[in-house]
Amino acid sequence: MFDTTEQVEKKVDQTTEDTITAQEQDFYGLLIIDHNSKEFINRVENTPGTGRHSLAYWCRQAGWHFYKVNNGLIKGNKGHFAFDRFAWLAGKANDVNVDLEQIVYCHIRAIDSKSARVKTKKARQLINEAYKLMDYKKI
Protein backbone atom coordinates (compact mmCIF):
# COMPACT_ATOMS: atom_id res chain seq x y z
CA MET A 1 0.00 0.00 0.00
CA PHE A 2 1.71 3.23 1.16
CA ASP A 3 5.34 3.49 2.20
CA THR A 4 6.08 4.42 5.77
CA THR A 5 8.10 7.54 6.51
CA GLU A 6 11.08 5.34 7.31
CA GLN A 7 10.85 3.55 3.94
CA VAL A 8 10.58 6.86 2.08
CA GLU A 9 13.62 8.24 3.95
CA LYS A 10 15.62 5.11 3.04
CA LYS A 11 14.69 5.49 -0.63
CA VAL A 12 15.69 9.18 -0.61
CA ASP A 13 18.99 8.39 1.13
CA GLN A 14 19.75 5.61 -1.37
CA THR A 15 18.90 7.86 -4.33
CA THR A 16 21.11 10.63 -2.95
CA GLU A 17 23.97 8.18 -2.37
CA ASP A 18 23.60 6.75 -5.88
CA THR A 19 23.66 10.26 -7.38
CA ILE A 20 26.78 11.24 -5.43
CA THR A 21 28.54 7.99 -6.40
CA ALA A 22 27.67 8.57 -10.07
CA GLN A 23 29.10 12.12 -9.91
CA GLU A 24 32.36 11.11 -8.22
CA GLN A 25 35.59 11.28 -10.19
CA ASP A 26 39.09 9.93 -9.65
CA PHE A 27 41.66 12.28 -8.12
CA TYR A 28 45.26 11.60 -7.16
CA GLY A 29 47.65 12.99 -4.58
CA LEU A 30 50.95 14.04 -6.16
CA LEU A 31 54.37 15.08 -4.96
CA ILE A 32 56.69 17.03 -7.24
CA ILE A 33 60.17 16.82 -5.77
CA ASP A 34 63.58 18.28 -6.48
CA HIS A 35 65.89 16.05 -4.44
CA ASN A 36 68.96 18.24 -5.11
CA SER A 37 67.53 21.33 -3.40
CA LYS A 38 65.25 19.26 -1.13
CA GLU A 39 62.09 21.11 -2.15
CA PHE A 40 58.66 19.73 -2.96
CA ILE A 41 55.09 20.57 -3.92
CA ASN A 42 52.13 18.51 -2.71
CA ARG A 43 49.03 18.74 -4.95
CA VAL A 44 45.81 16.99 -5.94
CA GLU A 45 44.93 16.39 -9.62
CA ASN A 46 42.42 14.35 -11.59
CA THR A 47 44.65 13.30 -14.51
CA PRO A 48 48.27 13.16 -13.31
CA GLY A 49 50.97 13.03 -15.94
CA THR A 50 48.63 13.63 -18.88
CA GLY A 51 47.49 16.73 -20.75
CA ARG A 52 47.30 19.86 -18.68
CA HIS A 53 48.27 17.98 -15.53
CA SER A 54 51.54 16.69 -16.91
CA LEU A 55 54.73 18.03 -15.40
CA ALA A 56 55.92 19.24 -18.81
CA TYR A 57 52.71 21.22 -19.39
CA TRP A 58 52.84 22.72 -15.90
CA CYS A 59 56.47 23.81 -16.49
CA ARG A 60 55.50 25.45 -19.81
CA GLN A 61 52.59 27.24 -18.14
CA ALA A 62 54.90 28.54 -15.41
CA GLY A 63 57.31 29.92 -18.00
CA TRP A 64 54.46 31.50 -19.99
CA HIS A 65 52.97 32.98 -16.81
CA PHE A 66 56.25 34.67 -15.90
CA TYR A 67 56.77 35.90 -19.44
CA LYS A 68 53.39 37.65 -19.19
CA VAL A 69 54.14 39.03 -15.71
CA ASN A 70 57.59 40.31 -16.71
CA ASN A 71 56.22 42.00 -19.84
CA GLY A 72 53.32 43.66 -18.05
CA LEU A 73 50.64 41.60 -19.80
CA ILE A 74 49.19 40.44 -16.48
CA LYS A 75 49.69 41.40 -12.86
CA GLY A 76 51.76 39.00 -10.78
CA ASN A 77 50.44 38.34 -7.28
CA LYS A 78 53.73 37.91 -5.39
CA GLY A 79 53.36 36.17 -2.06
CA HIS A 80 50.36 34.12 -3.20
CA PHE A 81 51.13 30.39 -2.96
CA ALA A 82 50.24 29.72 -6.62
CA PHE A 83 52.53 32.53 -7.79
CA ASP A 84 55.35 31.20 -5.60
CA ARG A 85 54.84 27.68 -6.99
CA PHE A 86 54.92 28.98 -10.56
CA ALA A 87 58.07 30.97 -9.79
CA TRP A 88 59.74 27.88 -8.30
CA LEU A 89 58.66 25.68 -11.19
CA ALA A 90 59.70 28.19 -13.87
CA GLY A 91 63.15 28.40 -12.30
CA LYS A 92 63.49 24.62 -12.09
CA ALA A 93 62.23 24.07 -15.65
CA ASN A 94 64.91 26.37 -17.08
CA ASP A 95 67.76 24.67 -15.19
CA VAL A 96 69.16 21.68 -17.11
CA ASN A 97 70.77 20.34 -13.92
CA VAL A 98 67.42 19.89 -12.18
CA ASP A 99 65.54 16.62 -12.44
CA LEU A 100 62.03 17.02 -11.06
CA GLU A 101 60.31 13.85 -9.94
CA GLN A 102 56.52 13.46 -9.86
CA ILE A 103 55.11 10.76 -7.58
CA VAL A 104 51.48 9.65 -7.32
CA TYR A 105 50.98 8.61 -3.71
CA CYS A 106 47.20 8.10 -3.39
CA HIS A 107 43.89 7.67 -5.21
CA ILE A 108 40.77 9.57 -4.07
CA ARG A 109 37.12 9.40 -5.17
CA ALA A 110 35.41 12.79 -4.89
CA ILE A 111 32.87 15.00 -6.63
CA ASP A 112 35.35 17.80 -7.38
CA SER A 113 38.94 18.84 -6.70
CA LYS A 114 37.98 20.93 -3.67
CA SER A 115 36.28 18.00 -1.93
CA ALA A 116 39.25 15.78 -2.86
CA ARG A 117 41.60 18.26 -1.17
CA VAL A 118 39.32 18.44 1.87
CA LYS A 119 39.20 14.62 2.13
CA THR A 120 42.99 14.38 2.05
CA LYS A 121 43.91 17.49 4.03
CA LYS A 122 45.11 15.69 7.16
CA ALA A 123 47.04 13.05 5.18
CA ARG A 124 48.69 15.74 3.02
CA GLN A 125 49.68 17.65 6.16
CA LEU A 126 51.27 14.49 7.60
CA ILE A 127 53.17 13.85 4.35
CA ASN A 128 54.38 17.46 4.35
CA GLU A 129 55.55 17.12 7.96
CA ALA A 130 57.36 13.86 7.17
CA TYR A 131 59.28 15.52 4.34
CA LYS A 132 60.04 18.53 6.54
CA LEU A 133 61.53 16.16 9.14
CA MET A 134 63.94 15.05 6.40
CA ASP A 135 64.93 18.70 5.81
CA TYR A 136 62.81 19.17 2.68
CA LYS A 137 61.10 22.50 2.11
CA LYS A 138 57.47 22.78 0.98
CA ILE A 139 56.94 25.28 -1.83
**CB-based contact 124:37 (threshold 8 Å):** no
Q: What is the full per-residue pLDDT of the chain (139 aa) written as tens digits?
A: 556 667 656 665 555 555 556 689 999 999 999 999 999 999 998 887 777 667 778 778 887 877 787 777 777 776 667 778 888 888 887 777 788 888 899 999 999 989 999 999 999 999 999 999 999 999 8
Q: Which residues pair with 40 in a beta bridge?
A: 33, 138
Answer yes or no: are the C-beta atoms of 49 and 102 closer than 8 Å. yes
Burial class (CB in 10 A: 0-12, 13-18, 19+), 60: middle
